[in-house]
Amino acid sequence: MLKAILTHFQLYSLLTGTDLTIRNNHLFVVHHITHPKSGDQVLLVSAPNSGYVWDAQIKEGLQHILPHINQKQIRFTAHVWIHDITQSYLLHDDGKPQKWDALKTIFEGMVEMNQVMFLSTRWDKAKVGTGEKEEKKIQKALREDTEKGLGFEQLRRLVLDDAWGTMDRICGRCFMNRPEDEKEDNSLIKRRLENEVDWEYMMYRKKMWTLFEECGFLKILVGQYLKEFYGFEVFPEPPKKSIFERILKRVKN
């Protein structure tokens, strides 16, 4: 499965093993990597910092890059806002992150909030209790966006294993929040694959019937479970339910 994750340069550098520095804050930087555990293909994109580039330029860049991402048959995209939990000066008095409204303007018409994750980092550097208090303040300030699907996640330590674990949780959530039309497409794909497996099963079933008949001639006993599974002397016609439905029914019973 190919995924796209738009994130910030520090996390990007950690996940890709590249030396992306603050000098790249004005660029879109793309890296295609393989997930170290699942083997999934991941397209990581480090997005420009709005403090270094005009918001209109970032929006124009997204308008250009998102269609190219979609052309690569990427199944879903996650947009990650990264906040250093130790840097409270990046927040307004009410807890809203600086440039948050600018981000929403950039995303308008292109990205829904249910594809956005607010990721707080460097919890291992925060004073005990301070990070939790600040996160609650942020969540309160962004309550309206949370109701629209914005999610929150934590990266306790900026180390590789923790970073991939966090990305997995983010991707899992954004995958579940895909648009309904994409979910419908996936259900059709699932049904098509089930039909292919059912067809293969029916072909193999005929071979097993021949084997069972030979066992009968040799007076070799065939267990009732095997007969039922392959429909031998049980279903004179091919069973109406798919193999998936019949196995599920057996498990439930």
Structural domains in the chain plus CATH codes: 2-178 (3.40.50.300), 197-252 (no CATH)
Whether 231 and 243 have beta carbons less than 8 Å apart is answered as no
Distance CA 135, CA 153 (A): 10
pTM greater than 0.85:
no
Which range of 54-58, 135-139, 227-231, 236-240 scores highest in mean pLDDT? It is: 135-139
b vs e for 127-153, b when ≥16 Cβ sit within 10 Å of the residue's Cβ? eeeebeebbebbeebbeebeeeebbee
Q: What is the mean pLDDT of the chain?
A: 75
pLDDT digits (tens, 9 = 90+) for 187-230: 655 665 566 566 566 666 667 777 777 777 777 877 776 666 66
- For 60-72, what is the mean pLDDT? 74
Q: Which residue has the higher pLDDT, 210 or 4?
A: 210
Cα separation, 205 vs 60, in Å, equals: 57
- Element (DSSP H or E) covering residue 21: none
